[in-house]
Amino acid sequence: MMNVEDRFLKYVKFDTKSDPNNENCPSSDKQFVLANYIKEELLSIGLNDVTLDENCYVMATLPTNIKDKKVKTIGFISHMDTSPALSGENVNPQIVKNYDGKDIRLNDEFSIKVEDFPEIRNYIGQDIITTDGNTLLGADDKAGIAEIITAIEYLKNNDEIKRPNIRIGFTPDEEIGRGADKFDVKKFGADFAYTIDGGYIGELQYENFNAAYAKITVQGRNVHPGSAKDKMINAILLAIRLNDMLPKDEIPAKSEKYQGFYHICDFNGNEEKCEMYYIIRNFDRAEFESKKQYLLDCIKKLNDEFGEDRIKIQMKDQYYNMKEKIEPVMYIIDKAKTAMEKAGVKPLIIPIRGGTDGSKLSFEGLPCPNIFTGGHNFHGRYEYIPINSMRKAVDVIINIVKEFSEDE
């Protein structure tokens, strides 16, 4: 049986970067390469109903070994793609043995500095997997895949451990917000599931942002600057004025915990025309709606002043806080907490300041909170994951299975 770290080190060698500019599913064909590898691995382990569909979703079953009563079906889900923020090609992991609490040199140019990432000192004495400074690592979410498959292989090989029906699923394109778009909840057939896609050890999450985006076009009126008095409307200045109308402290750099924000992600143009792209985030649904309305009110005020609908907006909701779908089945959170405690892990219940496949799946009828992988600093060259945290994630998955078996 392969251990979790060796399995993880195999997976990160596959370049699975998703492509936000490609509307196909998957957005990059190279995700199929890992998907096919995983499919063959699951078949070799001896799982049932192993499938890989045309959209690059892998699913499989470890059937119950409880024969005398009706059992639930639980699911575990992770994603195969890595963030487009940094290259995932030629990933060359380094293993730091018995970490000494000092800065970790990645290469001549980059280091994981304790001053910048003080939480790494929590892992003094442990073995840590890092990048070589040239790529991301891919712990988000190849660690989750490795942890799920390692746990499932253990359960398959230790049939004396009672288990309910278990479904596992691996998705493409989570990093570009499409991971659940073509996930067949009915085919998956679970009563509930857990995504293994969180960060540091102990994370247990069932709240996430409500989210929307806004694409804004500002149409100016350009005139030669030498004769522009009382004629020119500079789109750049008008766009800046709109941004300045938004609350100064409601930005990512000044928000934390349950605080929401407006975030301008892109701004380009000239005095004739500007385009702006915002994301809007809030945990509370009423405050989320209020934030969106405030932006619309700001645009109306400027259009009333400058006329001619100079500012146009396209705004769309992206996902919602899954808390409202998890609260009716809070026992799945309680079971996960108990599973962590039995593994010697302190549960850390915190909100997800972002989105998750689990949010969309929860609203499609599959309640799906999120559990830690053990990784830190996702999406960049400073990404790392302690091996012990991965092993603990495996233990937690196994313990969750045991917890639900005891109920049956």
Catalytic positions, please? 81, 174
- Cis preceding-peptide flag for 225 (omega within 30 of 0): no
The region that residue 374 occupies, defined by phi over 0 for left and psi between -120 and 50 for alpha, beta otherwise, is: left
Is 322:206 a contact under the CB 8 Å cutoff?
yes
Cα–Cα distances in Å, from 193 out to 75, 169, 370?
4, 10, 9
- Peptide bond between residue 81 and the one before it cis (omega within 30 degrees of 0): no
CB environment 58-84: b (16+ within 10 A), e (fewer): bbbbbebbeeeeebbbbbbbbbbbbbb
**Cα gap 173→15, rounded to integer Å:** 13
Q: Which residues pair with 94 in a beta bridge?
A: 130
Chain mean position to CA 202: 16
**In 10 A of CB 46, how many CB atoms?**
11
C-alpha distances in Å from residue 12, one per residue of 33, 52, 85, 150, 385: 12, 20, 16, 15, 12
